[in-house]
A and B are shown apart, each in its own frame.
Chain A
Amino acid sequence: MPLAPLAIAAYTLTNGLGAGIAPSLSALRQMRPGLRPCDLPDVPLDTWVGSVEGLDGEPLVGDLAPFDCRNHRLAALALDQDGFRARVAEAVRRYGAGRIGVFLGTSTSGLRHTEACYRERYARGAPELGAELRFAYTHTMFSPAAFCRRLLDLHGPAVAISTACSSSAKVFAAAQRHIACGLCDAAVVGGVDTLCASTIFGFHSLGLVSTRPCTPWGLGRDGLSIGEGGAFVLLERRDTEDGRLALLGCGESSDAHHISSPHPEGAGAALAMSAALASAGIEAGDIDYINLHGTGTPANDLAEDLAVTQIFGPGVCASATKGWTGHALGAAGATEAVLCLLCLEGGLVPGTLNTDRPDPTLAVRVRQVSQAGAPRRMLSNSFGFGGSNCSLVLGWQ
């Protein structure tokens, strides 16, 4: 059922390309890479990652100190960019702090900090992880949402959604529903996830990590590059006005197929895309660009290609941006939603970095090189383990 579009009052993101939207936009425009060889000391694997600089020396202090861990430092750095916090403060004045929700996606929350506690425990031969873990503030899945509520002094409904790689796309849908039901008037939505040994080793154990920078949709593609990042959007219930960026629709589905492999024909993915179009009250032909989930694994891209072709036909304008950011897992949905927003505002159709030779067996011909354009509506795909799918429609009102 269509829900009222929500105004995009502010957005920001931070990832391996840099802090704030400017480095991401210029990297997309100039086809400038952002991945680098993995240098995590406890992950001696030959792989490339999108890693955020400048977090190691910036601990959280004051009443935020208990939350100190890499994931929350990353969230704080991201929230500090692009005047985002000032726009949230304006929304607080407009609606009241109790009327602004926080809906955050994450796959691993503060697990990187937990890993450090395990490493320290075994290095010292200690029997326990120790109080430094601060489980309730760092490890627990809800902690990024609790941290953002505290940092932004918000008092509305809040939740962490953790559905693997669709997590921070689904928060848009949850916020839209909560606002439609009158539980809040505005919402900070987003995602934040940090590079972890568990996830890199885990994807490696499944044979899904590339030794090169990932090549989504590429001939001979052989897996992911994993990234970290934080991306946030301020959604507001406002009377719809023309000439404003908006969340137009959301579609969610499940594959009901396998816990870590996509449905081979992309059946669940196709359902999510058609549900997003229905939710926005538009047709497939109204979409000017698709930001593919496009992870660069052989099976994921093949299944998504079949799904996109089924709904949009092979001629649709599409690309995948994970060659720039890496796959930010629980932060990927919000990261790519924000990349869509800055391309809508910046008049850009992004290409597909690293993919010099697209796979000729895939029907959708991805844009390889970023080009200026005037897209009006974009669809962003996010699909995750457990067969969790979410598609968002973003565009100008």
Chain B
Amino acid sequence: MHELSIAMSIVEMAQEEAELRGNVRIQAVHLRLGLLSGVVKDALLSSYEMACETTPLEGSRLIIEEIPVEIYCSNCEAQRPVHSIQYFCCAECGTPSAEVTRGKELEVFALEIRE
């Protein structure tokens, strides 16, 4: 369970951004969360609330966009969705691949601010 420390990093990062922009009020943080990031969405959401307490972000929302896993398929010569997280092969042609091209994201993508 490392979601609380991740949530605290998100809050810290958002606060820095708010300060850079002249102490704007942050209403929401948009996060891109890859299914291979090792972070659990629900645990992160509840940790976020805790991490915001007594900070200027108290009451703000965390909006999570889950990013699916994609691999590079040597047969299709293209980036393709993975069959499943338990079965790393191309969803279209079935060629196995361990070359993950998408799905490890843990990224603060945008902020909703009010000046």
Q: Do A and B assemble together?
A: no
A interface vs B, CB < 8 Å? none
B interface vs A, CB < 8 Å? none
